[in-house]
Amino acid sequence: MMNARTVLLILCFMALFSTYCFGNSVDKLSTGLCAKDATIGCLRDNFDNLYRDDYSLFWEILRNAANKAAQCEYLEDTTAFLTLVKLEKGNAEVNEFFSRAIEQLCIEKTKCFFNALLGLDSPTRVLIFHKLRTPLFVDESEIDRVFLEARSNEKYNKLSDSYFVEKKLGK
């Protein structure tokens, strides 16, 4: 049988080992990308790395941003969400998510969508127009109708013209 010192030594070693293992996993959870700052800004700054390293947090932040954009309570939320489209870089899953969100915004929250488009730079608008000219979830004619109706609004007619120019260039 083991003496008391050996048992005590083994128990101390196990306690130290457990503390080391559990301590490191807690540190990883609390210091991971965006763990302490789960915002759209952190997502924007760490888009690819967060998708790769913390898939569930990536989607939590992205869905939250899309929901805020769709609520249209604050124009800045919608504009900030739309700027993320330039970060997708061919990721089919993210592309599908953005397509659905952007198409729904265009059809269901048209005024909010157009006001947010006005706050974007031209290259980002072009990316959004590219998505809208080949929609995945909404009939193309519905989107065309929204942009045709926008032509009668002086504030949005240039956006409408740009959309149809991009659509023509893409075909």
Containing domain of residue 132, as a range?
38-170
Q: Are residues 120 and 160 in the same domain?
A: yes
**Mean predicted lDDT score pLDDT of the chain:** 86
Give CA–CA dist 143/127, Å, rounded.
Answer: 15
Residues 138-152: tens digit of each pLDDT: 999 999 999 999 999
Sign of CA dihedral 144, 148, 154, 160: positive
Residues 17-71: tens digit of each pLDDT: 444 444 443 333 445 889 899 999 999 999 999 999 999 999 999 999 999 999 9
Residues 81-116: tens digit of each pLDDT: 999 999 998 899 999 999 999 999 999 999 999 999
Q: Are residues 72 and 138 in the same domain?
A: yes
Q: Give yes or no for a contact between 28 and 53, defined as CB atoms under 8 angstroms apart.
A: no
Q: Are residues 24 and 81 in the same domain?
A: no
Global pTM reads: 0.79
Q: Are residues 26 and 43 in the same domain?
A: no
